[in-house]
Amino acid sequence: MKESSILIVGPASQILGTRIAKELGVPSLNTETKTFPDGEIYLRIDVEDESVIKGKEIILVQSTGPSSSGNQNDRLFELLMMIDSVKRMGAAKIIVVIPYLAYARQDKIFRPGESQFANLILRVLNTTKIDELYVVDVHAPEVLKEFSRKSVNIDSMKAIAEYIKSLGAKDIVVVAPDKGAVERSQEFAKCFGENTPVDFFDKKRDVKTGEITMSGTLSLKNKDVVISDDIIATGGTMATAIKLSKQSGAKKVYATATHALLLQNAKYRILSAGADEIIGTDSIDNEVARVSLAKVIAEHLKKK
């Protein structure tokens, strides 16, 4: 981290961006946005004098999740405008932090005729010639291969585990909602102690309708169960895993995800399925952002 670094807080990361600047001990600048009558968005970096950016190392923090104040398309365009603006003002180095990377789940072709849009997002970022890119628990890290400069996928597991431990959870079993999440859950389980068991349900999603079917009976009698996923979107995956965990005898159930988007009636689905708590991070500014990513992101930025 250079003494002359400045952090720019994006519209979608007002809390997390400010926290990261504080952790790093660098000054921050905010962004101003509006939407024109035709729907086009507008963004400016809140500077009176553009020369403050010239020759500086600039850290841009902008998550790209949907919220009441903007959808992911707006967020991505705001990010591109932030990059363009600091580049035009003469930034010497541009470091981009995207805590939640939108479209990351569209990284595979499930049906003929689809776009592998996650890969294109990375290629677009590549063309902006930013110097470094940091994301957090991106859906499938392989997508970062599309970015030719330095990229880092930051792991939030330790921070989430510390929070769950602070709630007094004991006799923990970590449950992955599907086989694909097992590897990550195994690493997550280690944060609760070397021998913390991990199990998983068998999940299938209809590629046409998006409907989920999940099955399995696990040994969870009187256990505190931590169900861990990278994203909670509609809450369908999490709610089904909670119901099955409860049927398998779970005592408490903690529903955790790095990126708790909580779309539609996700909160209701998850809580009515029997979750004791929904735990997300401040990659998404919402009421379940119990865990801050500021420290772990700042640690990675300091390492450079």
Binding site for ligand R5P (CB under 6 A): 105, 177, 229-238
Smaller CB distance to ligand R5P: residue 141 or 249? Answer: 141
Q: For residue 281, list its beta bridge partners.
A: 291
By annotation, the residues acting in catalysis are 203
Distance of closest approach, residue 176 Cβ to ligand R5P, in angstroms? 10
Distance of closest approach, residue 70 Cβ to ligand R5P, in angstroms? 20
Looking at the chain, list the stretches that DSSP marks H as alpha helix, in order from N- to C-terminal side.
14-24, 72-88, 117-127, 157-166, 182-190, 236-247, 266-272, 294-303
Distance of closest approach, residue 142 Cβ to ligand R5P, in angstroms? 14
Smaller CB distance to ligand R5P: residue 14 or 234? Answer: 234
Interhelix angle 157-166/294-303, nearest 10 degrees: 150
Distance separating alpha carbons of residues 278 and 227, to the nearest angstrom: 10
Smaller CB distance to ligand R5P: residue 91 or 218? Answer: 218
Distance of closest approach, residue 236 Cβ to ligand R5P, in angstroms? 4
Smaller CB distance to ligand R5P: residue 153 or 234? Answer: 234
Two tokens, residue 20? 């990261």
- Nearest CA-CA partner of 172 in 145, 154, 199, 150: 199
Backbone angles phi and psi of 87, in degrees to 5: -65, -45
